[in-house]
Amino acid sequence: MIKVSYENSLINLSASLLKHYNAFIEYKTLKVVDEYLNKGYNHVILMVLDGLGINIIKAHLDENDGLRKNIKHVANSVFPPTTVAATNAILSGKPSFVSGFVGWMQYNQFADAHEVVFFGYDYYDANKIVSPQLQQNFLKYENILDKIKKKNEDLHVEVVFPSFHKTNGYETFDDQLNRLLMITQKKKSFTYCYSDQPDLTIHQNGIYTDEVKRCVKSINASYERFLREIKDDVLVIVTADHGLIDVEPIKLYNYNDVVKTFIRKPALEARATAFFVKEEEKKNFEKLFKKYFKDDFLLLSREELYETNLLGYGVKNSLLDSFIGDYLAIAVKNKMFVLCDREPFKAHHAGLTKEELEIPIIINR
């Protein structure tokens, strides 16, 4: 197993920001980030580029490209290294064990649905709108922006999202950067900016493709343009929620003997898959899983998973057991489970490989 350090992760980056703005912290900070924050910049921007892991940067950017040249530190994501878990780790300052945000689709016991957490519909039936929804009703938290604003009433605090995520979001990355530039012309500020690229392009095309290279190069060019336009009192911290790995699909529902052991369909992620198994079938499930998938997946019971601290530590979320189910299967190589009849991605994340876990801390000063 690759170790996931919760002393060198996204939650520690958030802890540095909270500490800088005199808000309460529960986890250790990142010293390299502390050092830059302590230099007294008037404007601090935390920018999250979805999927821009260390492996993606090294594959597509030259050493003198801004996003590569300005890497000051290599940290790890959280586990699972996936957008729902990782972006909520940043915004809450807490790991999945505490926040309850674990994967793309989580079993909602109150609606008996496999809810796509960010969008509120059933993963296996997109026409079914889930009610009540997990994010809106059961997994609320005070985010780091609110905590920072409470302690710094005169500070301008803003979130800059893409349009897919918010109705008032921005259409392009350049539009987001233009808004950031406007913010830095006024009073002191802290801004959180999230972009859904290059993750979307990588999912669809695979890592080592011309489409992805063009995408990453374009992001870098926009970043370099932005750095030329901002003033000296702006600190830009760029990171990623996770990296990705090219994957090969395994059609889970072709294994009828495995499927027959299920109480309900699997949840979470294609590379970190939660299984809900009939009590009388657990031994049989373990046997069959190891027979077919032991070379590509690590199978942990819920109790074994908690003992590893892979999900982090703190006060366990009260709904976590219902999300994890009875077992979690964690990809340790390049395989993913196909859980529905939609076209599978060519690259994915949420597994336990270096490529998925290693993320950059990029600082412009």
For the domain spanning 102-137+248-344, the CATH number is 3.30.1360.180
The pLDDT score that the predictor gives to residue 168 is: 78
Domain positions in the chain: 10-92+139-245+354-363, 102-137+248-344
Instruction: Provide, for the chain, the percentages of residues in helix, strand and coil under a 3-state DSSP scheme, each rounded to the nearest 5.
Output: 35, 25, 40
> Cα angle vertex 264, ends 263, 265, to 5°?
140
Q: How many CA atoms lie within 13 A of 155 on its CB side?
A: 21
3-state DSSP of 173-210: HHHHHHHHHHHCCCCCEEEEEEECCCHHHHHHHCCCCH
Residue 162 tokens read as: 């893409």
User: Does 102-137+248-344 match 10-92+139-245+354-363 at the fold level?
Assistant: no
Condensed to tens digits (0 to 9), the pLDDT of residues 107-123 reads 999 999 999 999 999 99
Q: Does residue 51 contact residue 330 with C-beta atoms inside 8 Å?
A: no
Q: Does residue 91 contact residue 143 with C-beta atoms inside 8 Å?
A: yes
Between CA 50 and CA 196 the distance in angstroms is 5
* 10-92+139-245+354-363 fold: Alkaline Phosphatase, subunit A (3.40.720)
Q: Which residues contact 356 (CB under 8 A, 6 or more apart)?
A: 53, 77, 81, 242, 243, 244, 245, 271, 349, 350
Condensed to tens digits (0 to 9), the pLDDT of residues 196-244 reads 999 999 999 999 999 999 999 999 999 999 999 999 999 999 999 999 9
In angstroms, how far is the first alpha carbon of the chain from the final one? Answer: 35
- Residue stretches of the chain with pLDDT short of 70: 1, 165-167
> Cα angle vertex 182, ends 181, 186, to 5°?
115
Going by C-alpha positions, the residue among 232, 126, 130, 125 that lies closest to residue 184 is 232
Q: What is the DSSP string of 132-164?
A: S-HHHHTS----HHHHHHHH-TTSEEEEE-BTT
Task: Provide the β-strand partners of residue 121.
Answer: 129
